Amino acid sequence: MMMESRDAAVDYMMPLGLHHIFAEGHHYGPAPWFSNDKIRADWTSVYYHKADAGGIGFDRTRSGSDAVDQYHEPLSSTFNNLSSCPEMYLLWFHHVPWSYRLKSGNDLWTELCMRYDRGVNKVRSFQKDWDRMDGAIDSERFSAVQSKLRTQCRDAQIWKDACLLYFQQFSKREIPFEIERPVHDLQSLKELTKSRDYN
């Protein structure tokens, strides 16, 4: 479980290099909608994802902020080129059209949906795996980990729902039918993630 936990968290929180979209004042929940004119722009979520009708991601290429040139060659050129940039960093370095085709064959929107869903499902599988350990581990440790896994499962669902429902407003695309529909609505998630008690 531990060996797979990082990739699960990346899938449900920051797929394809989508980073820094936390709620204001804490990093427990998502708030891709967060912006505030009274603070530095780079302390807000919208600064990092740059979602709009055309696509999503921060253009750090030589024609954008030129952050790619902080890296030595050949990395800077690899990151600068949309087709050679590793998909795990794609939205960190590029503003990518919703229709862009990834190696999976999915367009960007569909791939984002699939990755968020994959993260949720992986966390659910961790719960099932752990529940099989009942009786093989002392009850105090078993219960403590089980509680943390329940929290992670709740959080993964919130991340998936908040991000897909928010970014869908820009992509104007349907969530693929083969994945589970969001179980929350966007407004209630906005209220939930405002709370500093969320954790």
198: confidence class by pLDDT, cuts 50, 70, 90: low
Residue 22 CA from chain centroid, whole number:
10
Q: Which of 193, 184, 176, 195 is nearest to 107 (CA)?
A: 176
What's the pTM?
0.93
Q: What is the DSSP string of 135-160?
A: TTB-HHHHHHHHHHHHHHHHHHHHHH
Residue 81 has pLDDT above 60, yes or no: yes
pLDDT of 195 > 70? The answer is: no
When pLDDT is averaged across residues 181-198 and rounded to a whole number, the result is 81
102 within 8 A of 91, measured Cβ to Cβ: no
> How far, in Å, are 13, 40, 96, 192, 198 from residue 99 at the CA level?
21, 31, 8, 31, 34
- Can you tell me the mean pLDDT for 87-108? 98
Kindly report, residue by residue over 114-147, the tens digit of the pLDDT: 999 999 999 999 999 999 999 999 999 999 999 9
- The 10 Å Cβ neighbour count of residue 120 is 24
Single-letter amino acid code for the residue at 124: R
Residues 140, 77 contacting (CB under 8 angstroms): no
How high is the pLDDT of residue 197?
52
User: What are the φ and ψ backbone dihedral angles of 154, each rounded to 5 degrees?
Assistant: -60, -45
pLDDT(196) > 70: no
* C-alpha gyration radius of the chain: 18
Average pLDDT, the chain: 94
* Phi (first) and psi of residue 69, to 5 degrees: -80, 5
